Amino acid sequence: MKTIDKYLFQALDNYPYSLEETIESLDYAFSYDAKNTMVLCLYGRIQAEQLWNYEEAKHYFQEALAINIHALEVYPYYLQTLILNEDYEEAQKLIDFALTIKGINKSEIFVKKAILLEAQQQFKEALAAIKNAKLSTLQFAFESDILEIEKRIKDKIDLMKNKKKPRKSKKDSKKKSN
């Protein structure tokens, strides 16, 4: 095992519970190989998930994909960052491309598509993406995540239906009681 792998494993093991140790291990790994896509991806995740610095995170993800377009680990996190940053058009383009990559977890990409559509309040289309995610999943553990997202989308659909129904005013209620 290479030294960079040791530091990368330490960083992955520490994240997100010990950010100081994660950064220290990542910095060591980066000093061994500044073009390691896993290292760049984890730097991007820290920027997005811990510091909410989406533009900086995007930079790390883009750099990783420029080094290796088949860096499969980058796509889900990059997509989540684009969605949170409301870069919807860019996210859709990345989803379309990611689905063409051999070996990528298509189920995970369809889930990101559902989340993108959910963020745009296109709930019926989001449920169609969930259906594709279910059809593509090969991992039992991932299935519960899909079901949670599906439930959240259905709950939002129900909220929208309830919002559209006219509510009775207090005057209408008093007239009926008299």
The pLDDT confidence band at residue 43, using thresholds 50, 70 and 90, is very high
- Supply the pLDDT for residue 10: 96
pLDDT at 171 over 90: no
Residues 97, 137, single domain; the answer is no
Domain of residue 44: give its range: 1-104
Residues 89, 125, single domain; the answer is no
Residues 17, 75, single domain; the answer is yes
Residues 158, 93, single domain; the answer is no
Residues 74, 118, single domain; the answer is no
For residue 152, tell me if it sits in a domain: yes
The pLDDT confidence band at residue 90, using thresholds 50, 70 and 90, is very high
For residue 94, tell me if it sits in a domain: yes
Residues 114, 83, single domain; the answer is no
pLDDT at 94 over 90: yes
Please write the tens of the pLDDT for every residue from 124-159. Answer: 999 999 999 999 998 877 888 999 999 999 999 999
Question: Rounded to whole angstroms, how far apart are CA atoms 147 and 130?
Answer: 8
Looking at the chain, the whole-number percentage of residues with pLDDT higher than 70 is 91
Question: Rounded to whole angstroms, how far apart are CA atoms 157 and 144?
Answer: 20
> How high does pLDDT run on average in the chain?
92
- Supply the pLDDT for residue 3: 86
Find the Cα–Cα–Cα–Cα dihedral 71, 74, 78, 80, rounded to 10°.
130
Report the number of distinct structural domains present in the chain.
2
- Supply the pLDDT for residue 173: 53
- Supply the pLDDT for residue 141: 79
- Three-state DSSP string of the chain: CCHHHHHHHHHHHHCCCCHHHHHHHHHHHHHHCCCCHHHHHHHHHHHHHHCCCHHHHHHHHHHHHHHCCCCCCHHHHHHHHHHHCCCHHHHHHHHHHHCCCCCCCHHHHHHHHHHHHHHCCCHHHHHHHHHHHHHHCCCHHHHHHHHHHHHHHHHHHHHHHHHHCCCCCHHHHHHHHC
Instruction: Write down which residue in 66, 85, 104 finishes a domain.
Output: 104
- Supply the pLDDT for residue 138: 87
Looking at the chain, the whole-number percentage of residues with pLDDT higher than 90 is 83
For residue 56, tell me if it sits in a domain: yes
For residue 170, tell me if it sits in a domain: no
For residue 136, tell me if it sits in a domain: yes
Q: What mean pLDDT do residues 78-102 have?
A: 98
pTM of the model: 0.88
